[in-house]
Amino acid sequence: MRTICFLSDFGLADDFVGTCKGVMLKISPGVQILDLTHQVPSFAVEAGAEILQHATRYMPEDSVYLAVVDPGVGTERREVALETSSGASMVGPDNGLLIPAAEALGGASSVVELTNEEYRIHPVSNTFHGRDVFSPVAAYLAVGVGLRELGSEIPLDSLARLDVEEDEASGGEIAARVIDIDRFGNARLSIREYGSGFEYGDELKLDIGDGGMGIRYVATFGAAGAGELILVPDSHWRLSVSINKGSAAKALSLSVGTKVSLKR
Amino acid sequence: MRTICFLSDFGLADDFVGTCKGVMLKISPGVQILDLTHQVPSFAVEAGAEILQHATRYMPEDSVYLAVVDPGVGTERREVALETSSGASMVGPDNGLLIPAAEALGGASSVVELTNEEYRIHPVSNTFHGRDVFSPVAAYLAVGVGLRELGSEIPLDSLARLDVEEDEASGGEIAARVIDIDRFGNARLSIREYGSGFEYGDELKLDIGDGGMGIRYVATFGAAGAGELILVPDSHWRLSVSINKGSAAKALSLSVGTKVSLKR
Amino acid sequence: MRTICFLSDFGLADDFVGTCKGVMLKISPGVQILDLTHQVPSFAVEAGAEILQHATRYMPEDSVYLAVVDPGVGTERREVALETSSGASMVGPDNGLLIPAAEALGGASSVVELTNEEYRIHPVSNTFHGRDVFSPVAAYLAVGVGLRELGSEIPLDSLARLDVEEDEASGGEIAARVIDIDRFGNARLSIREYGSGFEYGDELKLDIGDGGMGIRYVATFGAAGAGELILVPDSHWRLSVSINKGSAAKALSLSVGTKVSLKR
């Protein structure tokens, strides 16, 4: 049986996650459910999409991804499931949450809207499609129900996409933005380490709209002095503007969305 | 092997839940343990009972429910296990926690007090029967040990019950009470949607002891204006007094236990 | 397949734990992973070691313990795995975290440094060896890869150890220290109940460097009056200085590390 990788913004204070698991185990007894995280910030579709995309590097290849960050529940937004060319499946709302992960897995080869009433828990609530629509579909996929059983096929390019600004690289300069501030005050950037073209030890110039300042690109915090402004890769292989033993976000007044440029 | 559905007020900050799982896996290797929630408010037996009862709609039919919200641990309160006529089993303290769930599953067909010392972890601590008494019993039930092996049968009507006020419905008026205030300030009522007799769109009168005010019964928040006082079903199929994009609890000074009446 | 018992200080707010689980399930599909706790205080190696040691009483005998509290990640500290004479395995950083648990399981019979590059996820990050080094090794051990496959054997006495003061018992007096203050203000001591030599009901003398005061040794909180200063065993079978329905830590200004002596 395929593993179900479950991501949501349900939190763990309530019984939401447990109830979804009951629904899945009732349909596919013995299925393994991996909690990726349930603490995506409430309704933060873009943050959830980034975590899901990153996770694809580490999850079993034939996983069924169940992802629910769904501010539009109860409105007209569609419910969808898709298959990737790498052999994974994904289930969730049609709000862009699944797209970056699907692309990281080679792209979606087939998409359906979840219109088949047989694969839902009735009555379907207005507020909790995680339980009533998405969990049952994930469980049916895990035991081998075919994607086309679940509803009618829809064009891949009809899926909603996140309106995410692309990083721009030209002439050795990368224009990017802050996508997250972690609890230590590190400002995580949209730039991935492996696409940056920079090398450890490079003395770079960081510009946040104020004329620019020097920043050193290092492999680890251990390679920097206390209080030094550094560019350092995080565990998601993204670059982070950091101050060793300090808060870069506070020192430079960085927040989610701040535009930055980096060059040699 | 049967699934164990585990609910407690242990929280996740400590190793309590993990230790209980070790005990269970040692007795029944490979058993599947579903965490319903471990964040029932400390010692809140009634809140735990409501979550457990609700969960029975969604859990595998032959589940073993392990439920530990146990303010009386170390006192004379009994430890019990029971079978329901639907084929589920339940294990926990004899303090009313299990009763609403058992009734939702067709009622208890057989109850034992857990007196058989063979099915405990020795030495039994004074403070943690979840680990030493209830978890082993749940694991033995999951692998097929019979209920009567675990102790001596006791009469169903000897079980402790929660002293919960019943809602009263007469002449189109329902007298009920607030059972929970959620983090958004929605006041969840003791009334279940399917027993209310109201219909979406009804203009109702809500009385909280102050003469009464108008409230509209709607299917979703999306059907209400910002700031509108509404009656709306939640994901547990209970009615909730809510203010769209506001806090009904603050606006009306509602708290757990507040009596309300509703009529057309 | 062997159960993996997973302890860390990763918390549950992020996807760290979920990513480690993906790594393990990819290597050993279907393996059972038991979350002991992921809320060890950040970088608190000694606290993690105590929880891990205690857990060994309750976990399946052939468990693979995956323990990651690793303030030295990215420095020269070694990565190790070991086998105990009881048949368990342990994986983690060489910083003392594993030692008390290994000793509780009869001692380490064989230890290796994790030098075999084949059993890692590449590229290995500088900050997250839980994902890239320790999780894969735990998963390979769970499916039967031999310890010596994983790297080169090293002497047991070369392992780093925690610099923990031993309790001293002489002439009926025990010199110990506070190892933890829980959320109720109970001061947990380094003394284990079964080595104390005291008996329930004993009137003892507690000295915290101020001349001493009377304290009664009781089996449960229920055996004490409100406001009474008591010595009471906790669920880890350690003695705790407590005030029934009050905070001993506040009343006596106790904190982690406070030295205490107890005698009849």
pTM score of the predicted model: 0.90
**Residue showing tokens 């699907």:** A102
pLDDT recorded at residue B159: 97
Q: Which residues of C touch B14 (CB under 8 A)?
A: 37, 39
**Residue A25: which of B32, B219, B220 has the nearest Cβ?**
B32
Amino acid at A263: K
Claim to verify: residue B151 and residue B24 sit in the same structural domain: yes
Claim to verify: residue B118 and residue B205 sit in the same structural domain: no
Q: How far is B59 from chain A (nearest CA, A)?
A: 4
Claim to verify: residue A73 and residue A149 sit in the same structural domain: yes
- Whether residue C168 is contained in a domain is answered as no
Tell me the HSE value of B145 on the side-chain side, using a 13 A CA sphere. 20
**Residue showing tokens 């990083």:** A167
Chain A residue closest in CA terms to B65:
A22
Chain A residue closest in CA terms to C31:
A32
A to B CB pairs, distance under 8 Å: 70
Claim to verify: residue B66 and residue B151 sit in the same structural domain: yes
Kindly report the number of other CB atoms within 10 A of residue C123's CB atom: 11
Q: Which residues of A touch B55 (CB under 8 A)?
A: 15, 18-19, 22
Distance of CA A150 to the CA centre of its chain: 24
pLDDT, one tens digit per residue, over A116-162 is: 999 999 999 888 999 999 999 999 999 999 999 999 999 999 999 99
Which residues span the domain enclosing A74?
Answer: 4-158
Claim to verify: residue C147 and residue C32 sit in the same structural domain: yes
- Whether residue B252 is contained in a domain is answered as yes
Query: For residues A85 and A102, what is the distance between their CA atoms, to the nearest angstrom?
Result: 9
Which residues of B lie closer than 8 Å to C, measured between beta carbons? 12-19, 21-23, 25-26, 29-30, 74-75, 121, 125-128, 131
pLDDT of A42 over the 90 cut: no
Q: How far is A211 from chain C (nearest CA, A)?
A: 32
- Whether residue A255 is contained in a domain is answered as yes
Query: For residues C4 and C142, what is the distance between their CA atoms, to the nearest angstrom?
Result: 7
Cβ separation C127–A220 shorter than 8 A: yes
- Whether residue B163 is contained in a domain is answered as no
Mutation target among A181, A235, A236, A244 for the C interface, most CBs of C within 10 A: A235
A140-154, C146-160, C245-259: lowest mean pLDDT where?
C245-259
How far is CA C244 from each of CA B9, B229, C150, C218, C241, rounded to the nearest angstrom?
21, 45, 51, 11, 10
Mutation target among A122, A126, A131, A134 for the B interface, most CBs of B within 10 A: A126
Claim to verify: residue B196 and residue B252 sit in the same structural domain: yes
Strand ranges (E), chain B:
4-8, 33-37, 64-68, 79-84, 89-93, 108-113, 152-153, 168-170, 173-181, 187-192, 203-207, 213-217, 229-233, 238-243, 259-263
**Residue B22: which of C34, C39, C220 has the nearest Cβ?**
C34
Query: For residues C71 and A222, what is the distance between their CA atoms, to the nearest angstrom?
Result: 12
Chain A residue closest in CA terms to B8:
A15
Claim to verify: residue A100 and residue A144 sit in the same structural domain: yes
pLDDT recorded at residue B42: 83
- Which residues, 6 or more positions from A183, have their beta carbon under 8 angstroms from its beta carbon? none
Of B158, B191, B215, the domain-final residue: B158
Query: For residues A65 and A88, what is the distance between their CA atoms, to the nearest angstrom?
Result: 8
pLDDT of C205 over the 90 cut: yes
Query: For residues C242 and C185, what is the distance between their CA atoms, to the nearest angstrom?
Result: 7
Q: Which residues of A touch B237 (CB under 8 A)?
A: 125
CA angle (C101, C105, C110) in 5-degree steps? 90
- Are the beta carbons of C159 and C99 closer than 8 angstroms? yes
Mutation target among C9, C17, C19, C134 for the A interface, most CBs of A within 10 A: C19
Burial class (CB in 10 A: 0-12, 13-18, 19+), A6: buried
Q: Which residues of A touch C29 (CB under 8 A)?
A: 3, 60
**Residue A15: which of B55, B63, B221 has the nearest Cβ?**
B55
pLDDT, one tens digit per residue, over B224-262 is: 888 999 999 988 889 999 998 889 999 999 998 899 999
Claim to verify: residue A79 and residue A146 sit in the same structural domain: yes
Query: For residues B68 and B4, what is the distance between their CA atoms, to the nearest angstrom?
Result: 13
Please give the structure tokens belonging to residue A175. 């224009």
- Neighbours of B, requiring at least 3 CB pairs below 8 Å, are A, C
Claim to verify: residue B36 and residue B97 sit in the same structural domain: yes
Cβ separation C26–A220 shorter than 8 A: no
pLDDT of A164 over the 80 cut: no
pLDDT of C165 over the 80 cut: no
Task: Specify the DSSP element, H or E, that contains A240.
Answer: strand A238-243
Claim to verify: residue A147 and residue A218 sit in the same structural domain: no
Cβ separation A237–C125 shorter than 8 A: yes
- Whether residue C163 is contained in a domain is answered as no
Q: Which residues of B touch C235 (CB under 8 A)?
A: 16, 125, 127-128, 131
pLDDT recorded at residue A75: 78
pLDDT recorded at residue B45: 92
Claim to verify: residue A94 and residue A186 sit in the same structural domain: no
Cβ separation B15–C54 shorter than 8 A: yes
DSSP C152-187: EE--GGGS----PPPPEEETTEEEEEEEEE-TT--E
Cβ separation A51–C15 shorter than 8 A: yes
What CATH number has the domain bearing residue B98? Answer: 3.40.50.10790
Chain A residue closest in CA terms to C128:
A235
Q: Which residues of C touch B15 (CB under 8 A)?
A: 7, 36-37, 51, 54-55
The number of folded domains in chain C is: 2
DSSP count for chain A of H helices, then E strands = 6, 15
If one compares A13 and A31, the residue with the highest pLDDT of the two is: A31
Query: For residues A112 and A92, what is the distance between their CA atoms, to the nearest angstrom?
Result: 11
pLDDT, one tens digit per residue, over C49-107 is: 999 999 999 999 999 999 999 988 877 899 999 999 999 999 999 999 999 999 999 99
- Whether residue C166 is contained in a domain is answered as no
Cβ separation B59–A22 shorter than 8 A: yes
Q: Which residues of B touch A21 (CB under 8 A)?
A: 34-35
Radius of gyration of the CA atoms of chain C, in A: 21
- Neighbours of A, requiring at least 3 CB pairs below 8 Å, are B, C
Chain C residue closest in CA terms to B124:
C235
What CATH number has the domain bearing residue A242? Answer: 2.40.30.90
If one compares B73 and C166, the residue with the highest pLDDT of the two is: B73
pLDDT recorded at residue B172: 79
pLDDT recorded at residue C249: 94
Q: Which residues of C touch B21 (CB under 8 A)?
A: 34-35
DSSP B36-92: EES-SPTT-HHHHHHHHHHHTTTS-TT-EEEEE--TTTTSS--EEEEEETTS-EEEE
Claim to verify: residue C122 and residue C185 sit in the same structural domain: no
Cβ separation B12–C221 shorter than 8 A: no
- Are the beta carbons of B182 and B248 closer than 8 angstroms? no
**Residue B18: which of C55, C221, C234 has the nearest Cβ?**
C55
| For range B4-9, the mean pLDDT | 97
Sorting pLDDT into bands at 50, 70 and 90, what band is C262? very high
Cβ separation C26–A51 shorter than 8 A: no
- Whether residue B146 is contained in a domain is answered as yes
Cβ separation B127–C220 shorter than 8 A: yes
Nearest Cα residue to A58 out of A238, A236, A240: A236
A243-247, B90-94, B141-145: lowest mean pLDDT where?
A243-247
pLDDT of B127 over the 90 cut: no
Strand partners, C64: C4, C89
Of C101, C126, C158, the domain-final residue: C158
Burial class (CB in 10 A: 0-12, 13-18, 19+), B116: middle
- Are the beta carbons of B216 and B248 closer than 8 angstroms? no
Nearest Cα residue to B48 out of B187, B162, B196, B139: B162
Of B123, B158, B193, the domain-final residue: B158
pLDDT of C166 over the 80 cut: no
Query: For residues B63 and B92, what is the distance between their CA atoms, to the nearest angstrom?
Result: 14
pLDDT recorded at residue C198: 92
Query: For residues B179 and B177, what is the distance between their CA atoms, to the nearest angstrom?
Result: 6
Q: Which residues of B touch A128 (CB under 8 A)?
A: 235
- Whether residue A167 is contained in a domain is answered as no
